[in-house]
Amino acid sequence: MQETDRKTVTLVLGGVRSGKSRWAQELAAKAARVAYVATAQPLDAEMVEKIRRHREERPNHWQTFEEPLELGRVIVEHAAAFDVMLVDCLTVFVANLQGTAESDPFCTARRIKDFLEALRALPASAVLVSNEVGSGVVPPYPAGRKFRDALGELNQRVAAIADNVVLLVAGLPLALKGTIGVRR
């Protein structure tokens, strides 16, 4: 991470198993004080294993916040205490929001708005991980298309705010916007 007082937002996109989480962690590890914001919930055995692996892969001195829905609140409440906030991942965040959307659709829009506003006013740098869904096949079911569209829209909105947007393919980073790096 380059030395400067300017805080940056880096969006790290990629397909499944592209290396985006590992790359984002390596980028965040260049900072001294890192907050890891996990959006996944241990709802099945596969996710329990994935969460376990991610915990083992990150440094023990990082502080972890587990928050499936209220990313804006976590950023507002905790970002000032850190050099970098690493959010992994927006894909699961959108899935979590869709899981609550039927019971309260206005809450979903508020949570996204709160997250984007917090991101714009962030007092620390941020590294955000998300899946790139625009290159895949069209899902055959309405729920899949709704998810793809919601994640694609959020990725666009975050990319508009971000200083850097990086696409990972086969573990290799490609800068789409800005540089491959984050300043703190």
- Indicate the average pLDDT of the chain: 91
Q: Which of 161, 165, 159 is nearest to 181 (CA)?
A: 165
DSSP string over 17-66: TSSHHHHHHHHHTTSSSEEEEE-----SHHHHHHHHHHHHHS-TTSEEEE
Residue 173 lies in a domain: yes
Residue 4 lies in a domain: no
- Report how far residue 64's alpha carbon sits from residue 84's, in angstroms, rounded to the nearest whole number: 12
Residues 6 or more apart whose Cβ sits within 8 Å of residue 123: 7, 79, 80
Residue 184 has pLDDT above 50, yes or no: no
Percent of the chain scoring above 70 in pLDDT: 95
Residue type, 117: E
| Span 121-178, pLDDT tens digits | 999 999 999 999 988 888 899 999 999 999 999 999 999 999 999 999 999 999 999 9
* pTM of the predicted protein model: 0.92
Q: What is the pLDDT of residue 183?
A: 47
Q: Which of 8, 13, 10 is nearest to 167 (CA)?
A: 13
Residue 184 lies in a domain: no
Supply the CATH number for residue 83's domain: 3.40.50.300
The whole-number average pLDDT for the span 85-93 is 97
Residues 6 or more apart whose Cβ sits within 8 Å of residue 49: none
The set of catalytic residues is 54
Q: Give the range among 37-46, 115-124, 128-137, 174-183 with minimum mean pLDDT.
A: 174-183
Residue 183 lies in a domain: no
Residue 99 lies in a domain: yes
Q: How many domains does the chain have?
A: 1
| Domain of residue 60, residue span | 9-177
Residue 182 lies in a domain: no
Residue 2 lies in a domain: no
Residue 168 lies in a domain: yes
